[in-house]
Amino acid sequence: MIVAIAADSPASTSAAVLSAATAHGLAAQTVPDGRGGTVIGVGGSLPPDILDLPGVNGVRAIHKPYMLASLEIRPASTVMVGDVPIGNGTPVIMAGPCSIESRESLIETAHAVKAAGASILRGGAFKPRTSPYSFQGLGEDGLKHLAAARAAIGLPVVTEVMEPDQVELVASYADMLQVGSRNMANFPLLKKLGRAAKPVLLKRGFSATVEEWLMSAEYILASGNPNVVLCERGIRGFDAMFRFNLDLNVVPAVKELSHLPIIVDPSHGTGKRSLVGRMALAGLAAGADGLMIEVHPDPDRAMCDGAQTITPADLARIHRTGLAVHVAIAAADSAEEPAEISLLANDLVALTA
């Protein structure tokens, strides 16, 4: 059940709804509605007479199973990562090495990706690898290097957390906590992240449906954390030519279903350095709120995922062209005459030259 409460309602109204839910043994969570009011999602139905309260604007008994993540509850939301907004109409780029290798190399890469247009630094300290013999990351030392890089360049940082017991540790260093594809359905982890005071980047499981993905987001939202960003990173296909298939259908599809921002990871989504640039632009053209890209000064020497890692120079080209694509599409959406669109096409060519 979704209960909409007006901005000018007395505080006692929300308190009464939450109290009634508790009395009936139902979970309930309050979230802002994006218009100054609040919405309470209740995991069940309350008697109509209980909801006859001042400021209750409406009650929806039938809704999507991911009610807190749904557009039924509020319009598109913006998530702040440090001082960087995601979902406000300007695409962001998260970039950095797949795995943190050393403090010096991370700070070098951090300066390079910032100069190339990144607004958030990424880097893995804990790495889930297919083989137990592969490099697993530097652990807390890697987190310390990440914090040092943030201090050096002034960008917020995002890194993966793999287990519930790691949440507090990683949150003490990072500005955003990432849930990797393999952990999308790690419900104890999602619940713990729901109680964290940091925004969460939730990657889609590589065999997950859109509804399963949004239900995983619902776990975080229902546990009290409204700051969730979705990340499409490719799904399993049958063609061995590609590591994964980057499913760009989900970008506009998710925007029809959910208020949560969504970004695209073309590095994992293709597994091939030569494809990252084009698919990054395709993701932005599909309407993504940003990109997550693996970058290394010397990709062939990277300790992790070198085949899908690009250089800072490649990232600069993606940033320059991607911004032009975004601006041109936004302008074309508002253009009314074919002549206007033709002029925009010429401007796009000039911007990307």
Q: What is the pLDDT of residues 64-79, one digit of tens each?
A: 999 999 999 899 999 9
Tell me, yes or no, whether 10 and 117 share the same domain: no
Would you write out the chain's pLDDT as a tens digit for each of its 353 residues? 999 999 999 989 999 999 999 999 999 999 888 888 999 999 999 988 888 899 998 898 888 999 999 999 899 999 999 999 999 999 999 999 999 999 999 999 999 999 999 999 999 999 777 777 676 788 999 999 999 999 999 999 999 999 999 999 999 999 999 999 999 999 999 999 999 999 999 999 999 999 999 999 999 999 999 999 999 999 998 888 888 899 999 999 999 999 999 999 999 999 999 999 999 999 999 999 999 999 999 999 999 889 999 999 999 999 999 998 988 888 877 766 655 555 555 655 555 55
Tell me, yes or no, whether 30 and 120 share the same domain: no
Residues in the chain: 353
Tell me, yes or no, whether 264 and 195 share the same domain: yes
Question: How many domains does the chain fold into?
Answer: 2
Q: Is residue 273 part of a domain?
A: yes
Q: Is residue 345 part of a domain?
A: no
Tell me, yes or no, whether 95 and 176 share the same domain: yes
Tell me, yes or no, whether 49 and 169 share the same domain: no
Q: Is residue 168 part of a domain?
A: yes
Element spanning 41, H or E:
strand 38-42
Query: Which domain range does residue 26 map to?
Result: 2-60
Rounded Cα distance, 293 and 94, in Å: 6
What is the DSSP annotation of 118-132?
Answer: -SEEE-BSS---SST
Tell me, yes or no, whether 215 and 246 share the same domain: yes
Rounded Cα distance, 341 and 353, in Å: 19
CB within 8 Å of 222: residues ≥ 6 apart? 27, 29, 41, 43, 68, 194
Q: Is residue 313 part of a domain?
A: yes
Q: Is residue 199 part of a domain?
A: yes
Tell me, yes or no, whether 29 and 107 share the same domain: no
Task: Read off the pTM.
Answer: 0.91
Q: Is residue 25 part of a domain?
A: yes
Neighbours of 338 (CB within 10 A): 8
Q: Is residue 351 part of a domain?
A: no
Q: Is residue 337 part of a domain?
A: no
| SS3 call for 39 | strand
Tell me, yes or no, whether 28 and 157 share the same domain: no
Q: Helix 273-285 and helix 312-334: axis angle, to 10°? A: 20
